[in-house]
Amino acid sequence: MLSGELAKIYERENSTTNANARQAISRARSPVQKNKLIPFQNNQVFVYLEKQFMSENYWDRLISAIAECSKTVYVISNALISQGGFVSKNILPAYSMSPVNNLRGHKRYDMLLGKLAQAKIIMDYDDEYIQLTNRWPLTNYSLNISRAKAIEISKKMVLNDFNDLTRKTNVISYNSGKYWSEFAHMQWGFTAPSYLQGISSWHSKKQTVAPGFILADVILQQNASVADVLFFVEKINIIKSFKNISNFVPTLIVYSVMSEAFDVLKKNNIAVAFIDRVFGNTYIELLDDLIYVITNAIAMVLSNPKKIDKIFDALANMDGRYNNIVGDMFELMVAEFYRVLGVNYLEVNKQVSAAATVSGKPKEIDVLVDKDGTIIVAECKATISMINEEFVEKWLSEKIVDIHNFLIGIYPSKKFEYQLWSTGGFATAAAEKLLAVKTKTKRYKVSYFDKSDMVDYAKNNNAQGFLSHIRKHFP
């Protein structure tokens, strides 16, 4: 239990003062232990017996204590829960109430995250994602990295459109919007300066107009609760007390919220942008399809490829704003390409646990194919820039080694081919490295495709759907 609760019990049972009770707890030694890693209200610590450590009861009581008395940790855990237990490292700071830079009276975000890792509440899933401990109950979803990626791609689309709307209506400077950026020591999903009358201000000494700022975050849960919006409210309450801060308009973009959550946002003078009212019901349908298709990628490729085509076509018809989002779905295009060619087995976004790899890091297989007795592993990169030598070196020396070590145990008698698909092509040094390895490697085949190679490959196999998508989305 928390030390404050324990002090009351000690005070009552020993007929002493609260000060003496707190002192006794602070002096307690083994088998009494204290978790001092988590910041609780009133400088409390979580107290437990050594035999209780990491037990089911330990986690139940710790989670309850965090919900009741540690807002900073609670909002982070809630952000992870809302995405199936995973959030990418560049996005999670926006869903905390901790500053990304030094701020007196507040624990910096990276320092807090380090403490939570020590407390085994979070861990690095891989180089990109943070994972919530599997001891933490998830009410609606089990741990699901595919769902996390689907939600984050959808958030990217919503923020992209919010930027497009505000700049076209002259609310913000046209090319000034930034994603997952810092303002007033906090990170936000979207920030942009605004010179509108009433938001901007006049500096009499400098004789210039100082812009105000539009600050926005996005929540894609249906019927978001007070707990879901708490991070945004707390961030606003922290920064509005700053001296000499620029004017700002806080906007929370939501799918839908409970009435209690809406009342909290209204009370704190926060603008609420409902996605269906701002962008329309057709847009909501596209979001729903996008999340569902990416979360259930393999089922969609095998049983409902027309739904994938529907999404690609919808994105293509939206003024060309979504090439980066289509890029996030590039592995679905490659998977559909192989499905049309005909395969014995096909899987998308297959997870390989850290325990099964040589490096001790989890890996993800973008597309796994069993075709004509050969296991094909496709790494799919849809980028504007060329892939550099550093990426190629890591793919060859770590990712292929880890995945091959895992797959050889499942397919001991199969041939293997590792493919790197890059719409942006390859830098000279990267291409030379790939060619050298392709020529020399005998254990398995290494192949690589730039956009021109993909077009030729599709033409040779009469894969008209893939060819159409490449030409439409990656001109």
Tell me how long the chain is. 475
Average pLDDT, the chain: 92
Would you state the structure tokens that stand for residue 252, as one six-digit string?
Answer: 């929370």
Q: What does the domain layout of the chain look like in residue ranges?
A: 3-69, 145-281, 298-473
Which pLDDT score, from 0 to 100, does residue 142 have?
A: 73
Alpha-carbon span 469 to 309, nearest angstrom:
9
Topology given in CATH for the domain delimited by 145-281: Trna Endonuclease; Chain: A, domain 1 (3.40.1350)
State how far the alpha carbon of 59 is from the alpha carbons of 64, 124, 125, 137, in Å: 8, 20, 20, 10
Confidence of residue 321 (pLDDT cuts 50, 70, 90): low
Topology given in CATH for the domain delimited by 298-473: Trna Endonuclease; Chain: A, domain 1 (3.40.1350)
State how far the alpha carbon of 106 is from the alpha carbons of 111, 235, 239, 258, in Å: 10, 11, 12, 30
Helices (H), 275-363: 275-279, 281-295, 297-303, 305-316, 323-328, 330-341
> What pTM does this model have?
0.88
pLDDT digits over 125-184, tens only? 988 999 999 888 876 667 888 899 999 999 999 999 999 999 999 999 999 999 999 999
Q: Determine phi and psi for 64, rounding to 5 degrees.
A: -65, -40
**% the chain with pLDDT above 70:** 97
Q: Is the dihedral of CA 242, 244, 246, 248 positive or negative?
A: positive
Same fold, 145-281 and 298-473: yes
**% the chain with pLDDT above 90:** 79
pLDDT digits over 112-122, tens only? 999 999 999 99
